[in-house]
Amino acid sequence: MTDFLLVHGAYHGGWCWRFVRDRLRAAGHRVLTPSLTGLGDRVHLMSPKVTLDTHVQDIVSLAEAEELKDAVLVGHSYGGRVITGAADRTWDRWRALVFVDAHMPKDGQSAFDTQIPERNEMVRRNVLPDGYRVAAPSAESFFVEPRHRAWVDRRMVPQPLSGFTTPLRIRGDWAQVPRKTYILAKRFVPSAFHSYAAECRRDPAWRVIEMDCGHDIMVDQPEELTRLLIEAATAAAPPGR
């Protein structure tokens, strides 16, 4: 049995992992799918004070409260920023990190530093009149399969703008986690994630996998993603790690 902590991306909530969570639990694993502050079932906690740092602390606090050890930390999209920050502070709790079509920022980088110009412009256009939230884009813009779009559109909520503008501060300790996997959604183009995958391919410490689907892999391909997460938990660490 392995403990999995699955972190959602922008505009989403813990709900988006439902199909993967159920499959992992059926296979005998313990699975945590929190909603970050101000999102998902915690949307009532949204305020101008919510930042990327808040979300990193959400995951650090949960890992400590659940006393996770030798666990697998997974992040989707914006959740990649969150797990990078959280793992940097708690690296010895994790057996493996899995980035699911996710960002991998370096120290001092915000989302606007690493995202492609088209996505940055979309964020700027969608800032709500209150000035601190960004309206959710459509599920279609994430290339979600038509059969799932109504559900995803119904559940998404505005994202705190500061989640995109706050620079991530890390030491680099997250790289000490022995097993690291990057899963790329090939159909989600253009995106910054293809360059992340290319960077990981040049590093023997990483395993890179491509999936023929849109951005919300956990929604459209839960069976295959579940299999890959279990593989990430059980595969041998690279030599010398």
| Whether 77 is catalytic | yes
CB atoms within 10 A of CB 18: 15
| 241 occurs within a structural domain | no
CB atoms within 10 A of CB 52: 24
CB atoms within 10 A of CB 125: 10
Question: Tell me, what CATH number does 43's domain have?
Answer: 3.40.50.1820
Report d(CA 51, CA 179) in Å as an integer: 28
For the segment 146-196, what is each residue's pLDDT rounded down to a tens digit?
999 999 999 999 999 999 999 999 999 999 999 999 999 999 999 999 999
pLDDT at residue 159, rounded to an integer = 98
The residue range of the domain holding 96 is 3-234
User: Which residue type is seen at 61?
Assistant: S
| 225 occurs within a structural domain | yes
Phi, psi (degrees; rounded to nearest 5) at 31? -130, 130
Give the confidence band of 239 by pLDDT, cuts at 50, 70, 90: low
Give the confidence band of 235 by pLDDT, cuts at 50, 70, 90: confident
For the segment 118-149, what is each residue's pLDDT rounded down to a tens digit?
999 999 999 999 999 999 999 999 999 999 99
| 240 occurs within a structural domain | no
| 239 occurs within a structural domain | no
For the segment 191-234, what is each residue's pLDDT rounded down to a tens digit?
999 999 999 999 999 999 999 999 999 999 999 999 999 999 98
Selected catalytic residue, list 35, 47, 61, 77: 77
User: How many distinct structural domains can be found in the chain?
Assistant: 1
Cα angle 89, 12, 166 (rounded to 5 degrees) comes to: 45
